[in-house]
Structure 1
Amino acid sequence: MSGQVGSNGMRPGRANCKPMAGVAQIDGVYAASVTNEEAGTGCTVIVCPKGATGAVDVRGGAPASRETDLLRPEETVDVLHAVVLSGGSAFGLSASCGVAEELERRGIGVDVGVGRVPIVSSACLFDLACGASDVRPTVADGARVAALALDGPREALSCGNHGAGTGCTVGKFLGPERAMKAGLGEHVERAGELVCGAVAAVNALGNVVDPESGAPVAGALAEDGHTVASDADAIAAVAAAAPWLRSNTTISCVVTNARLTKAQATKVAQMSADAYAHAIRPTHTTNDGDTVFVMATGEVEAPVDAVGMLAVRALEGAIVRGAREARSAYGFTAARDL
């Protein structure tokens, strides 16, 4: 992956993920990742300099997040400038501070009279068991990834072991020795002028399945080491309080060019969470921090339900792609090597 290596090993990544276009195909939206392959962590940012209508849906029982309360429909701030998806567990929230500082330097944010305050929301996932547990995305990485998004070429994100997906794993209900590698996924769906794109870092307790066929993609390895364990195995393992609890989270951002109010964007976020249920088994557990952000740029009039349906398809595609494009690393086998 091209890009200059930062002082802590993080490096920018923008390799094209053909044939799919990325969320940056939407006017006014920019995205980038920085990756530390050696340490097994990274972060990904989606930026809308002009501001988008923002929303969030949090269904997991153990989230690590920033500025989610602000996105509730009843709160008065109605603009969102960036969403940061980060590794590093709660430590990774530092990256969002760097994103905010870089946006402020560029004059992006809410005018508060004495300056501009960028509204930056973030969610983090647990990847400390991959690579180096004491290396996490930093303020400097956040500033770097924001600058890369705004100044670099508007290409699709690198998928798999990149950005927030670098240290992602799935299928942890049978313990770490049976888990598999997953990563970052991106997918875009169109319906006429309406566009919905999704970016997901897939780090679930459960297995990833193909929503169309129900076939397993990646997850807990069965005893033979060559196939994915069944739903029945998952139920039995979770009932027995399997190891690696609270080390799981799938974090996502849905971006659309639809014109939505905060309440409507919230409904789209709620509908989008169905993609988790379609593609991850089990999901929304007490030991996942599952979070879905929405950014709506306001360019196209469309029924809320149509936006939600298209967003579900985009997020399903991003989740499956995050599992399929991962590479085996840090002792975890990827789907492509089964």
Structure 2
Amino acid sequence: MPARADAITDVRGIQVGQHSDARRPTGCSVVLAQGPDDGGAVAGADVRGAAPGTRETDLLDPANLVQQVHAVLLSGGSAWGLDAAAGVMRWLEEHGRGLPVGSAPGQRVPIVPAAVLFDLHVGDARIRPGAEAGYAACQAASGAPPAQGNVGAGAGAVVGKLFGMACAMKGGIGTASVRVGEVTVGALIAVNALGDVVDPDTGAPIAGARTPDGRALRHSVRALLAGEAPQAILAGSNTTIGVIATDAPLSKARAQRLAGAGHDGLARAIRPVHTMSDGDTLFALSTGHAPAIDFNVLCAMAGEAVARACVHAVRAARGLRVDDVWLPSASDLQAP
């Protein structure tokens, strides 16, 4: 069942901040994590898309040294957006949070994994999130339910681009949470997929590629299987990225497996998913504020939270005009 606010911030030890650039639709979202000892969170990552843009994912390998991270950044701006992580690090350093690296007080290095999505086709590509945007997102962080739709990393997100931008629709960022007993799992997902977003229960498309007249959804997979040819697609020009968080205690190996289970949710809500033109990446965080729970239950919770967050992202999105191209939202298409 959904947790209190049906948001990732229902997870104890999690705060979210977002920054949207007023000059064009782009931005970044940061998830701050604190464990019961005021340290960071145990973390893992799973990259399934063929064109990822990431930072510090190797560090999250269970065989590697560092055990905790202090924040995760999701950003627009393609590879340029990774610059925003420097601002997140600066904010964390100013607040005394990071990996101790020396005997002197304050000698800490904040650990900030990050992933980016491609939104450079939406407005002036020279405008993208940098360190200032990451810092501003941290300043805005709180335990309140984060805004959804056209904000943060979802500001410039677009879905359903298999048959060209003229037939695509507005994506966005969404959140959801699931609670079983004393344990909560939440997800924050920025949906910028090449494919369609579908209802996980029925498979019916909610937002994605439209028919040539723009009035109805095309059912991308059905169209491909019927022989319709997709347009030439720039590699990496899409990508769904996100964070799964739980207050159950996990090892690094289990956190990595939880991130992998979250991709079950992407596969339920996005079709096609994990394509050669997507860099789909999920992080998992464990804050350890709750008791342990059966890991198979936790994985089921993660898949459910991710799938519902994807749906929330497109349902909360608002239509956007880019030059002479109109990118309607799911609600626009349903309107009379």
**TM-score normalised over the length of structure 1:** 0.90
Question: Which deviates further from its counterpart, 23-32 or 160-169?
Answer: 23-32
Change (3 A) 1:235 1:71: farther
Residues 1:335 and 2:330 are matched in the alignment: yes
Residues 1:117 and 1:238: Cα distance change in structure 2 (over 3 Å): farther
Q: 1:314 aligns with which of 301, 305, 314?
A: 305
Deviation at 1:76, TM superposition (A): 1.2
Equivalent residue letter for 2:33: C
- Specify which of 37, 43, 46 is matched with residue 31 of structure 2: 46
1:19 deviates by 8.4
Quickly say closer, same or farther: Cα 1:27–1:125, change in 2 above 3 A: same
Q: Tell me the residue number matched to 2:263.
A: 273
Matched-pair contact (CA < 8 Å) for 1:98–1:143: yes
Residue aligning to 1:286: 276
Superposed displacement of residue 106, structure 1: 1.1
Unaligned runs of 5+ in 1: 1-17
Q: Which aligned segments of 4 or more residues in structure 1 are displaced greater than 4 angstroms?
A: 235-241
Once the two structures are superposed, what CA deviation does each residue of 1:182-206 show, in whole Å capped at 9, x if it has no partner?
1010111111111000000000000
Pairwise CA distance, 1:235? 4.6
> C-alpha offsets along residues 259-302 of structure 1, whole Å, 9 cap, x if unaligned?
10011111111111111111100000111000000001112211
Q: Secondary structure at the match of 2:258?
A: helix
Confirm or deny: 8 A CA contact 1:88 1:127 kept in the other structure.
yes
Q: Which residue of 2 aligns with 1:173?
A: 162
SS at match of 1:34: strand
Q: CA deviation at 1:317?
A: 0.7
Closer/same/farther in 2, CA of residues 257 and 165 from structure 1, 3 Å limit: same
- Could you tell me how far apart the structure 2 residues matched to 1:296 and 1:94 are? 25
Q: Deviations over 1:218-247 (max 9, x none)?
A: 000012312111222245678655334421
| Residue 159 of structure 1: aligned partner | 148
The residue type paired with residue 115 of structure 2 is A
TM-score, normalised via structure 2 length: 0.91
Describe the shift of the 1:237–1:194 C-alpha distance in structure 2 as closer, same or farther (beyond 3 A): farther
TM-aligned CA distance change 1:63 to 1:313, over 3 Å: same
What is the match of residue 138 of structure 2? 146
Tell me the secondary structure at the aligned position of residue 126 of structure 2: coil
Distance 1:234-1:84 versus aligned 2 partners, 3 A rule: farther
1:258 counterpart SS class:
coil
Query: Structure 1 residue 242 and structure 2 residue 242: aligned?
Result: no
Alignment of 1:1-338 (within 5 A): 20-49=5-34, 50-113=39-102, 115-149=107-141, 153-230=142-219, 231-235=221-225, 242-299=232-289, 300-330=291-321, 331-338=326-333
Distance 2:55 2:226 in 1: 34
Structure 2: runs of 5 or more not aligned: none
Alpha-carbon distance in 2 for matches of 1:234, 1:154: 42
Over the aligned positions, Cα root-mean-square deviation in angstroms equals 1.7
Query: Does the C-alpha gap of structure 1 residues 89 and 122 become closer, same or farther in structure 2, counting only changes over 3 Å?
Result: same
Q: CA deviation at 1:21?
A: 3.7
SS at match of 1:57: strand
TM-superposition CA deviations, 1:131-162 (whole Å, max 9, x none): 2211111101111111221xxx5211110000
Q: Which amino acid aligns with 1:303?
A: D
Q: Identity of paired residues, percent? A: 42
